[in-house]
């Protein structure tokens, strides 16, 4: 019912963000299956490509609860979780900035790849993204 929906979600965009984050969390739980960040990112790209029409339509919206902002936040949370798992401490300010920059850049690259029709092979997209992430952060990602 309507009241049940609004008890769980603030609006229709919130459910889209929840579904993306749920997919991302399932990936984190199955990290041993993916072997590496690169394999995991390719799985994410394939999921987005398979559901391209849905994700492109939802990415058009900008504002409160936008999917793009949720993707950036989810990627930042993921990178911070990986950092904490690898180092058991908080990143320095410089490392935190690099993590946030990497999360935002990765998210933007994925969004543009998706909007432009996924013309570039997922392996090439993953390779380009990995070259942009600082090595001390990339080494912690899984």
Token readout for 2 is 């309507």
State yes or no: pLDDT of 28 exceeds 60: no
Average pLDDT, the chain: 86
Q: What is the mean pLDDT of residues 4-20?
A: 76
Residue-wise pLDDT tens digits, 64-93: 778 888 889 888 988 998 999 999 999 999
Query: By CB neighbour count within 10 A (0-12 exposed, 13-18 middle, 19+ buried), where does 30 fall?
Result: exposed
Tokens of 99: 């993590």
109/105 Cα distance (integer angstroms) = 6
What is the residue-wise DSSP string for 46-108? HHHHHTHHHHHHHHT--STT-HHHHHHHHHHHHHHHHHHHHHSSPPPHHHHHHHHHHHHHHHH
CA 88, CA 109: separation in Å to the nearest integer? 29
Please give the average per-residue pLDDT across 109-123, as a whole number.
95
Tell me, what DSSP letter sits at residue 30? T
CA 131 to chain centroid: 17
140 pLDDT exceeds 80?
yes
């Amino acid at each position: 019912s309507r009241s049940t929906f609004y008890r769980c979600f603030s609006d229709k965009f919130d459910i889209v963000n929840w579904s993306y984050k749920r997919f991302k969390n399932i990936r984190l739980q199955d990290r041993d299956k993916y072997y590496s960040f690169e394999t995991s990112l390719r799985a994410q790209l394939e999921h987005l490509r398979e559901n391209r029409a849905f994700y492109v339509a939802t990415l058009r919206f900008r504002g409160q609860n936008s999917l793009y902002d949720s993707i950036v936040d989810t990627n930042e949370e993921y990178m911070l979780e990986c950092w904490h798992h690898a180092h058991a401490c908080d990143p320095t300010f410089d490392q935190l900035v690099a993590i946030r920059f990497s999360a935002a850049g990765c998210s933007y690259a994925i969004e543009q790849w998706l909007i432009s029709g996924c013309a570039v092979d997922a392996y090439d997209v993953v390779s380009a993204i990995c070259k942009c992430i600082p090595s001390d952060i990339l080494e912690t990602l899984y």
